[in-house]
Structure 1
Amino acid sequence: MENNKITRRNPEGMPDPVGNYTHITKIPRNAELYVTSGQIGTGSTGELPESFNLQLTNTFDNIKKVLQAEQLSAENIIKVNIWATEKIDWDFMYTEWSQLFGEDYPAMTIGYLTELGLPEIKVEIEIWAAKV
């Protein structure tokens, strides 16, 4: 492994991931760390759609905008935390996920909650990223 590159792997002896993520992501010493607030599904005009999947699409769009503002890309993402109030449609989710990551997946945690910051918010995604 290179000391100046973000690396992702699934250690030997570990069960395969049950989804599109990697068990461990390593950042090199002295990398710059970026942590986003949880991104939600508001659209460009501030509206929050009723549909979970529309909120999810907007959330990924907002993540891309936050990354671009710091000249970051999916390659810089080291950890994703996802919170949802409804069951996730995994086919739809992985379509959005693969548009962002391709097949180079970061570490990921998912939790289901009864409510997020506002009752109409159905999904919130927090990103941790590093720039080497």
Structure 2
Amino acid sequence: MAKYVQPKTFLGEVYQVHGYSHAVILPRNAQLVIAAGQPSINKIARMPETPREQIIACFENCHVALKAAGVEEGLSAAHKVHCFFTDVKDEPVAMEVWKEMYPDHRPTWMSVGVKDLCVPE
């Protein structure tokens, strides 16, 4: 079983409130599944209009990809999440959506602001 770690510091409290962990310790016998980046394309092959809808679609696509790889719990079993934003102001929206979808799961998390994403329009 994975162990999620928060230091007993101000940053540890901040990370906990925002929905992610500082570190994770995986057991030696853990199976590692690595997923490719997932676009924000919804179930009907469209790019949703709002950042919130795009984030939900992306998380759902990640969930489906992990389940297809044999991870029964899907994204709720992820230990590391990388998010790339063309507008970093959308990161709080992603954290809000994450806490709604996976309220008790605090994976390690990295958010990066980028100029563009390679997603078909």
TM interval, shorter chain, is 0.7 to 0.9
Q: Structure 1 pair 34/112, CA: closer, same or farther in 2 (3 Å)? A: same
In 2: Cα distance, 1:61 partner to 1:21 partner: 18
Task: Return the structure number with greater strand share.
Answer: 1
Matched pairs, number: 115
Deviation at 1:75, TM superposition (A): 4.5
Look up the match of 1:11: 7
Q: Kindly tell me: are residues 75 and 62 of structure 1, through their superposed partners in 2, closer, same or farther at Cα, counting changes over 3 Å?
A: closer
Q: Quote the residue 2:53 is aligned against.
A: 54
Unpaired segments ≥5 residues, structure 2: none
User: For the Cα contact (< 8 Å) 1:9–1:23, is it kept in 2?
Assistant: yes
Distance in 1 of aligned mates of 2:38 and 2:120: 15
Identity %: 23
Shift of 1:74: 4.2
Match of 1:35, SS state, is coil
Helix, strand or coil: the match of 2:44? coil
Kept in 2, the 8 Å contact 1:74–1:100? The answer is no
Structure 1 runs not aligned, ≥5 long: 121-132
Tell me which of the two structures has the higher relative contact order, counting C-alpha pairs closer than 8 angstroms and 6 or more residues apart. Answer: 1
Post-superposition Cα deviations, 1:14-72, rounded to whole Å, max 9, x if no partner, equal: 73234221001111102110111111111112111233222111112212212332223
Query: SS of 2:60's equivalent?
Result: helix
> What secondary structure does 1:46 align onto?
coil
1:94 corresponds in structure 2 to 95
Q: Does the CA-based 8 Å contact 1:39-1:62 persist in structure 2? A: yes
Partner residue, 1:129: none
Partner letter of residue 40 of structure 1? Answer: P
Counterpart code for 1:113: V
For 1:84 and 1:10, the matched residues in 2 are separated by 25
Q: Does the aligned pair in 1 maintain the 2:84–2:114 contact within 8 Å?
A: yes
